[in-house]
Structure 1
Amino acid sequence: MSILPQLVFLLVFAIAAYILTKRIRYLRRNIFLGKGEARNDHPEKRWKTMLLVAFGQQKMFKRLGPAFLHLLIYVAFIIINLEVLEFIIDGISGQHRIFAPFLGGLYNVSMNIFELLAIAVLVSCFAFLIRRNIMRVDRLAMKELKGWPALDANLILIIEIVLMFAILTMNATDQILAERGVGNYVALQGLFFSGLIQPIFQGISDGTLIFIERFAWWFHIVGILAFAIYVTYSKHSHIFFAFPNTWYSNLKPKGQMKNMEEVTNEVNMMLGIQTEASSEPPAEIARFGAKDVNDLSWVNIMNAFSCTECGRCTAECPANITGKKLSPRKIMMDVRDRAEEVVKSLDAGGPGLEDGKSLLGDHTTKEEINACTSCNACVEACPINIDPLSIILQMRRYVAMEESGSPAQWNAMFQNMETSFSPWKFAPTDRFNWADQVKNEEID
């Protein structure tokens, strides 16, 4: 028996593993452009959040139709990979359906389940293609999705459809060859869905059937390996990132904004409030807020690479709904694009962050971030707990504190809060005059 197919398989597998390893390192370099941030507190809450939101798809079910279709693909992705494990063992050992003799009738049941899930994936993928390209759901047809993002989404769906057809074709031809007693093909009983397409191949010669079956087998396993690499270039990297992203979710109450500790300590010192940190020399602040990706935290950048571009955040954003330029989805895409721009420059021996560009200005505009109402609707809507608001607030902090570039009305409010301790230009001593006025009116 020739060992050439095994050697070819090992070579293909090794090449795929090498490329995937390089891509993972590349993504890691992107993410760790950001500053350090500790997010390991309350591990029990983090496990629970990850299990409910990432594994359990909890937040997806706010929209039942898409959630059900996504669940079918998600379950199929997990379970069908068990069959991929058999493919890998068969490829290394040179065997065919190595689990069949050990599992007996359970193997038949498993194969029928796999085929049912393959059909579910086909139905879901076709439905998603229709939603994107025929129904043109609003949140899936916005301008930030023009070009590669739209093509990427369609490519993934088409690839999944082709891979599912490859499974059904392989099983159908495999069973015809087993019934004819050809080679070491294993006869299975009652494969329903692949059995429906067997008549297409009945009149074909043994040699041609073997070629079709082997081609489908190789196409599927190489396709799976290629898919694993492709998703690292795609918005579908959320397949991997959703789990760490939900683990490192912000567990603080929504609406609780993060202060700069250095500024808080300095204010406490000015007010005579003693804290542990205030006894230490004040730390030098490199920059207030965020102008570029290196001013954000690594969690912010991981959020960007976790983004599925589903647009639920933008669809719920009151600023966007009322016609403002802000799109939380675009903010996340901007962060990802800028991080990749920097790392590609560094890898090519270029200037990296010193290329004369920045996240704020060259990717995201002041008009966008000033439109944000800080309502947290985008954070609440995200299926995997991405936090666009954190990034928006950090960029607004930079504009306000480094550039003094906030709108005139905002600057007046800031000044009033500094001098009068309220947004309105009234002396603090006059703050409760309204109470006296109400009291006098009651007496009258």
Structure 2
Amino acid sequence: MQFIPNILFAIALILGIGFFAKNVKKLIRNIKLGQDVDVSDNKSQRWKNMTMIALGQSKMVKRPIAGVLHVIVYVGFVIINIEVLEIIIDGLFGTHRLFSKMGTLYGVLIGTFEVLAALVFVSVIIFWVRRNIIKLQRFWKSEMKGWPKNDGNFILYFEMVLMTLFLVMNATDVHFQDMNSGNVISQYIAPLFSGLADSTLHIIERSAWWLHILGILVFLNYLYYSKHLHILLAFPNTYYGKVNPKGQLNNLEAVTNEVKMMMDPNADPFAAPEEGAEDEVPAKFGASDVQDLNWVQLLNAYTCTECGRCTSECPANQTGKKLSPRKIMMDTRDRLEEVGKNIDANGGEFKDDGKQLLGDYISTEELWACTTCNACTEACPVSIDPLSIIIEMRRYLVMEQSAAPMELNNMMTNIENNGAPWPYNQMDRLNWANEE
């Protein structure tokens, strides 16, 4: 009978980690649905970006209030969960505070954890007030309804509960309080339970202990369904993020070669390709669905924190246009999830569902509202690039559908006929010089 708690703990641990691993496998599968892209360049810069942006939170603190609060929650939550190692060992082997044998060092560690837990709790409350009482505009855009809105609050409640359980667990642990080392916050909570029998305190402490570890396992598996997946994906996303100048767009090799041939007076457009040369013309120009995007763009979609910094900086959105860079990323992730479920339901193969990202999720009005200013990519705290997805879908509209706005069609027709964006014959370009 004495081993039943240990067995139950092991079962909970295996189920929690196992389900998480299953979701991680599905996540990787979905991301790999994207086109291949070479991101092996500039490794030193990529490591630097990951260290500064993901680990150092350098872009978060550009908005000081939210940035500092986020750093507290981020650092606190990560460091506090170091204690999970002790909880796992205690749960599996039936020990109690095994690491307390470390003496003073243990007190310093737990004391640090308690201070951070209190700071996290306060920070989370401030976040909740900003989101629900002050109602910052970026949290109340049209795309932030239903699940996205609730998810933002659910995660705050999760963190409040986990921090409370941690402090209550320490406050009701008679042995820990008797040590009088590391109980820098819980010593002020302990009087709330004064007068209770030791047996009752033990029940409360064990209950808080179980709920704390089970809550962590639930939180771990909740990540896959939440915007807080960025806790894990921010690191690879910042590593594989764009390292070229933000205004530099990628060129399609097939189009570049075609233009070069058109500009070469000695080129034979009907010449057979050289032996061994590969046909570089893609099956589709641009992207109309998630499978047409590259895997880094799909990683971007899963990494989106839905913080809305990109949308709040977007000049098109500020002037009332329909475009929201955050919605672009959320729509891409939602469609990717839909495709993944389609694959799961059809034995590992995608069955055409008559839907696609362009049209069913993202409208052409949104795409053409973009000014390509890169404000969204500059604002993103985890190096997401909504503009690259917009550009790929524009390419599809122009090169596959000939569906550009009239102004662009006129310009491109002029370039094709006159070699310039203006509606003047090349022979008439210098007529202005002859005018008196």
TM-score range, shorter chain: over 0.9
- Cross-structure match for 1:211: 203
The answer on whether the counterparts of 1:177 and 1:206 sit within 8 Å (CA) in structure 2 is no
Deviation at 1:192, TM superposition (A): 2.2
Quick check: 210-219 or 78-87, which moved more?
Answer: 78-87
Query: Where in structure 2 are the equivalents of 1:8-407 lying within 5 Å?
Result: 8-101=8-101, 103-174=102-173, 176-177=174-175, 187-189=179-181, 191-272=183-264, 279=274, 280-349=277-346, 352=350, 354-407=352-405
- Cross-structure match for 1:419: 417
The answer on whether the counterparts of 2:106 and 2:182 sit within 8 Å (CA) in structure 1 is no
The answer on whether the counterparts of 2:170 and 2:176 sit within 8 Å (CA) in structure 1 is no
Question: Could you report, residue by residue, the CA deviation over 1:23-61 in whole angstroms, capped at 9, with x for unpaired residues?
Answer: 001111221111111111111111001101111111111
The answer on whether the counterparts of 2:171 and 2:187 sit within 8 Å (CA) in structure 1 is yes
Quick check: 360-369 or 342-351, which moved more?
Answer: 342-351
Deviation at 1:270, TM superposition (A): 3.2
Mapped to 1, the partners of 2:79 and 2:22 lie a distance apart of 27
Mapped to 1, the partners of 2:58 and 2:430 lie a distance apart of 47
What 5-or-longer segments of structure 1 have no aligned partner? Answer: 180-185
Mapped to 1, the partners of 2:278 and 2:170 lie a distance apart of 71
Return the TM-score normalized by structure 2. 0.94
Deviation at 1:170, TM superposition (A): 0.5
Q: What secondary structure does 2:195 align onto?
A: coil
Q: Which amino acid in structure 1 is aligned with residue 368 of structure 2?
A: N
The answer on whether the counterparts of 1:172 and 1:195 sit within 8 Å (CA) in structure 2 is yes
Q: Which amino acid in structure 2 is aligned with residue 294 of structure 1?
A: Q
Mapped to 2, the partners of 1:429 and 1:119 lie a distance apart of 76
The answer on whether the counterparts of 2:109 and 2:182 sit within 8 Å (CA) in structure 1 is no
Question: Could you report, residue by residue, the CA deviation over 1:392-427 in whole angstroms, capped at 9, with x for unpaired residues?
Answer: 011011111111111111100111122223221223
Return the TM-score normalized by structure 1. 0.92
Deviation at 1:266, TM superposition (A): 2.4
- In structure 2, the CA distance between the partners of 1:5 and 1:62, relative to structure 1 (3 Å rule), is same
- In structure 2, the CA distance between the partners of 1:119 and 1:319, relative to structure 1 (3 Å rule), is same
Question: Could you report, residue by residue, the CA deviation over 1:203-228 in whole angstroms, capped at 9, with x for unpaired residues?
Answer: 11122111100010111111111111
Question: Could you report, residue by residue, the CA deviation over 1:132-191 in whole angstroms, capped at 9, with x for unpaired residues?
Answer: 1110000011110100001001000001000000011010110x3556xxxxxx734361
Deviation at 1:429, TM superposition (A): 4.6
Mapped to 2, the partners of 1:76 and 1:410 lie a distance apart of 51
Q: What secondary structure does 1:325 align onto?
A: coil
Mapped to 1, the partners of 2:140 and 2:122 lie a distance apart of 22
Mapped to 2, the partners of 1:250 and 1:172 lie a distance apart of 48
Deviation at 1:232, TM superposition (A): 1.1
Deviation at 1:282, TM superposition (A): 3.1
- In structure 2, the CA distance between the partners of 1:231 and 1:281, relative to structure 1 (3 Å rule), is closer
Mapped to 2, the partners of 1:281 and 1:85 lie a distance apart of 54
Q: What secondary structure does 2:172 align onto?
A: helix
Q: What secondary structure does 2:39 align onto?
A: coil
Mapped to 1, the partners of 2:431 and 2:64 lie a distance apart of 53
Q: What secondary structure does 2:41 align onto?
A: coil
Q: What secondary structure does 2:373 align onto?
A: coil
- In structure 2, the CA distance between the partners of 1:431 and 1:95, relative to structure 1 (3 Å rule), is farther
- Cross-structure match for 2:270: none
The answer on whether the counterparts of 1:177 and 1:210 sit within 8 Å (CA) in structure 2 is no
- In structure 2, the CA distance between the partners of 1:261 and 1:353, relative to structure 1 (3 Å rule), is farther
Q: Which amino acid in structure 2 is aligned with residue 5 of structure 1?
A: P
Mapped to 1, the partners of 2:120 and 2:351 lie a distance apart of 42
